[in-house]
Chains A and B, each alone.
Chain A
Amino acid sequence: MPIEVTMPKLSPTMETGVIAQWLVKVGDPVKEGDPLADIETDKATMQMKSYDDGVIALLDHVAGDEVALGQRVLVLAKKGEDPKAVAQAMGAAGAAKAAAKASSAAAEGHTSGNGKRPDPAVSVAAAEPAAVAVGGRVKSTPLARKIAAASAIDVARVPGTGPGGRVIRKDVEAFLAAKPAAAPAATSAPSSRTSVRIPHTRMRKTIAQRMLAAKQAAPEIHVSIEPRVDRLVAAREELNRRLARENIKLSLGDFVTKAVAMALRLHPALNASFEPDAIVRHGNVNLGIAVALDEGLIVPVLHNADQLGLREIRLQSEALAKAARSGTLTGEQLTGGTFTISNLGMFGTRQFDAILNLPEVAILAVGAAERRPVVEGNQIVPGTVMNLNLTADHRAVDGATAAVFLQALKGMLEEPAAMLL
């Protein structure tokens, strides 16, 4: 029997995946573990791997197609089976559907709107069907490919505006021109004050959908506390002196991560998920660390953070942030989080609210540590203070529970030695 490969669940929250790029074409032999396609999920782009050996008999979709979980994406002919016969038997319905979709999308590009006939003198933005056809072939002209190759860019990344979404010379040139010019163009705004329309990326859609869902689903409370972190700053300086020869530099954020992990172990009510019929207190402490990207944000996960020393926390956080920026996070690095930390301290932000990362029941917003006048006894003295603002899902976490957790956190940050307990 041929194997019908379906859209796998590559992230815990994904419901659909977009085939960013086929890595195989019809007729290719594949072995277990071979990459089949790059799949864009709501979190990141990940490789879909083969769980079987066989020959690709049929691809149901073209790159750019959004496919629901469990829907068939390709058919694998097993040893002894004729891929062509398999393709015929299993039908190319998906491919035909994909083509029909592309052409109807193109047609819609011209007719959609408010029903009023637009002024034909105004140019109608043409729909941009994906430039990749069944089998992963990128529709592009020879000249476009040569220019792309000379500039070492993958022509598949260039949006095509030619017939049927073909990538033409102009597209590659525009792509090349846009890349380095993007940053300066933003600063030289006065010369062009026209509005720009930025179509939603998949990441933007996900952020919008998840943030709205959290605000709608969870009655949230905000509880904040302001630990005085002079000792922590001193400890950090001391440790960084020791770590200097390893070229490791701990940030205050790393201490917060460590302290949060330890405090969560003591207060498992915050290290939990809210499910319709139960609250699940997680056994592991897996901290999501929000990473800002040019195009949005992503939350890679530091697994078993409570078992990591500061050195590991620093190294692993750095590696995750780097992978997030280069889009190379693995599925594991994006899943399993039990609590999230969002830190805007590096921008000088004193205090902010974070929105829950459902189904987790709490998220901590970390502000900048800053020198402020503090009352010590009856004296006003200079001290370093930071704001920690916890957002909690009141369906699962009550105010006092949140406050007690923050109290513990404050204790650890004010007296770093407490973390050793």
Chain B
Amino acid sequence: MAYDYDIVVIGGGPAGYAAAIRASQLKAKTLCVELDKLGGVCLNWGCIPTKALLTNAHLVELIKNHGAAFGYGGQPTWDFAQMIGRSRSVAGQLNKGIEGLFRKYKVAWKHAQAKVVAPHKVLIGDSETVTAESIIIATGARPRPLPGLPFDGKRVIASKEAMSLPALPQSMLIVGGGPIGLEFAYFYNAIGTKVTVVEMLDRILPGEDEEVSAALAQSLAKRGIVIHTGAKTSQIDSSGKTVKAVIETKAGKTPIEAEIVLVAIGVQGNVEDVAAPELKLAIEKGHIKADPAKGYLTSVPGVYAVGDVIGPPWLAHVAHHEATCCVERLLLKSTRTIDYSNIPGCTYTDPGVASVGMTEKQARESGRQVRVGKFPFMYSGRALASDETEGFVKLVFDAQYGELLGAHLVGSQATELIAELVMAKKLEATEEEIIHAIHPHPTYSESVMEAAGQGLGESVHI
């Protein structure tokens, strides 16, 4: 039986467009169907536009906090609408870029809703049906609301609204101390909003190394962000002109009032209406069940799922790799799989946070002999020259062979520095290779080398 397409991809985000382009590169007849804009959340409402805003915030902060030291004596003024506008135009530019890539690789795409209606059969829009040998679902995820507090887009908002507000809010309550919540906290705090962050667990960035959480909490607090950890937000009332709520901690209850409450407690998969109910597409905890060992096969033969819709870690770079692994296996190009223990995670505050692999605690709990090397940027000539000395590089090694188990960085360049350590881990480099690979002087990257050296007591600079 001949199908209309070799592969139909539902969704045009980092997973979907990567799958479609890779499939096309491998000569498969491919169709990509996207309901909204190509590039998905990452490009339009996530990774990229927020980075535009954060760079802006960083610029504001540099002048405000470091300007005097660098000899600046003026009174800067900032235009919030321009910040938002610039961020939107960056997203628009990239969105056009994906369309260009689709043209380049001759990927057919449609702007429509799509749904798997039978094995190998996809309904596009209301009436068109196409058949495909394989179907890849990459519909992504969306912000999860607080139970009992639906988003209203005005007072109770999610990340999308937070990057396109009509005016600078005076105050903001952010529920959730993960990367998304903290990035907005950093942005709005830097440009003048009074920001309060509430995290349910006992520390912000609970997935990171404990020292990292502590260092970032200190840095953000110094900048004026109020952080409550081990705290619950309750009695939220968004009916008035401002939002009223109560922050409950062990110490007691604190009433709070804010112009806007941003809920950033996590995401849920866009699993509704992607497949006809009779197909019995298996869903688990709000995400499609897909088996990485079988090329991301779902419970329905011929139907695969990749990216945020299959669950954590909800990262664009993981979605991209899942998609290419899935496609390469489908088209018999490779059988490579993803090593989920070697995925970097970044938080683009300032200082930023980046990490890969095990935290020190996880490494110790795994029963290994652990050796930790840590180099504060305070000792880095380059960091000092830039007046950005917050943070450190912390490397966790297995003491037996010097295997790199994890890397945890806090600092102004952390998110750029982590790639070296992902590569080191991928190539199974040990601390010796990191120390003996000559790093250029003077750079922030030297601190990685110094941290490895510090672990062995060989660092000359600490």
- A interface residues, Cβ below 8 angstroms from B: 110-111, 117-118, 120-124, 126, 141-144, 146-147, 150, 168-169
Contact = CB atoms under 8 A, between A and B. Distances in A.
A147 B429 CA distance: 12
A141 B429 contact: yes
Contact of A121 (B294, B332, B401, B432): B294
A124 B429 contact: no
B402 A141 contact: no
A169 B428 contact: yes
Contacts of A117: 332
Contacts of B294: 121-123
What are the 3 A-B residue pairs with the smallest beta carbon separation, nearest first? A141-B428, A143-B428, A121-B294
Contact of A123 (B335, B427, B428): B335
17 contacts: A110-B333, A120-B329, A120-B332, A121-B294, A121-B295, A122-B294, A141-B427, A142-B429, A142-B432, A142-B433, A143-B401, A143-B402, A143-B403, A144-B428, A146-B401, A146-B430, A147-B401
Contact of B335 (A110, A147, A169): A110
Contact of A126 (B297, B335, B427, B432): B335
**Which has the most chain A C-beta neighbours within 10 Å: B333, B401, B403?**
B401
Given A121-B294, A168-B428, A146 B332 contact: no
B335 A124 contact: yes
Given A121-B297, A142-B428, A143-B403, 15 more contacts: A110-B333, A110-B335, A118-B332, A120-B134, A120-B329, A121-B294, A122-B294, A123-B293, A124-B335, A126-B335, A141-B427, A142-B430, A143-B401, A144-B428, A150-B401
Nearest to B425: A143
A117 B302 CA distance: 13
Nearest to B403: A143
Nearest to A162: B428
Interface string B401-441: 11100000000000000000000000111101100000000
B428 A110 contact: no
B175 interface: no
Contacts of B329: 120, 124
A141 B334 CA distance: 21
B185 interface: no
A121 B295 CA distance: 6
Interface of B: 134, 291, 293-295, 297, 329-330, 332-335, 400-403, 427-430, 432-433
Contacts of B402: 143, 146
A169 B341 CA distance: 14
A163 B28 CA distance: 25
Contacts, number: 49
A143 B430 contact: yes
Nearest to B432: A142
A226 to B, nearest CB: 59
A111 B329 CA distance: 11
Nearest to B333: A110
Given A120-B329, A147-B401, A110 B430 contact: no
Contacts of A150: 400-401
Contacts of A142: 427-430, 432-433
A144 B433 CA distance: 13
**Which has the most chain B C-beta neighbours within 10 Å: A123, A142, A169?**
A142
Contacts of A124: 329, 332, 335
Nearest to A124: B335
A143 B335 contact: no
A278 to B, nearest CB: 55
A142 B291 CA distance: 31
Nearest to A144: B428
A147 B401 CA distance: 7
Contacts of A122: 294
Nearest to A110: B332
Contacts of B334: 110
**Which has the most chain B C-beta neighbours within 10 Å: A121, A147, A168?**
A121
Contacts of B401: 143, 146-147, 150
Contacts of A118: 332
A121 B330 CA distance: 8
A358 B232 CA distance: 86
Contacts of B295: 120-121
Contacts of A110: 332-335
Nearest to B402: A146
B213 to A, nearest CB: 29
Nearest to B404: A143
Contacts of A146: 401-402, 430
A251 B433 CA distance: 57
A123 B328 CA distance: 12
A295 to B, nearest CB: 28
Contacts of A111: 332
A287 to B, nearest CB: 51
A141 B330 CA distance: 29
Nearest to B134: A120
B267 to A, nearest CB: 27
A110 B330 CA distance: 11
Nearest to B337: A123
A199 to B, nearest CB: 18
A143 B333 CA distance: 28
Contacts of B297: 121
A95 to B, nearest CB: 24
A143 B405 CA distance: 12
Nearest to B332: A110
Contacts of B330: 120
Nearest to B330: A120
Nearest to B401: A146
A206 B347 CA distance: 60
A147 B330 CA distance: 35
B64 to A, nearest CB: 45
Contacts of B429: 141-143
Nearest to B331: A120
A122 B291 CA distance: 12
Contacts of A123: 293-294, 335
B176 to A, nearest CB: 37
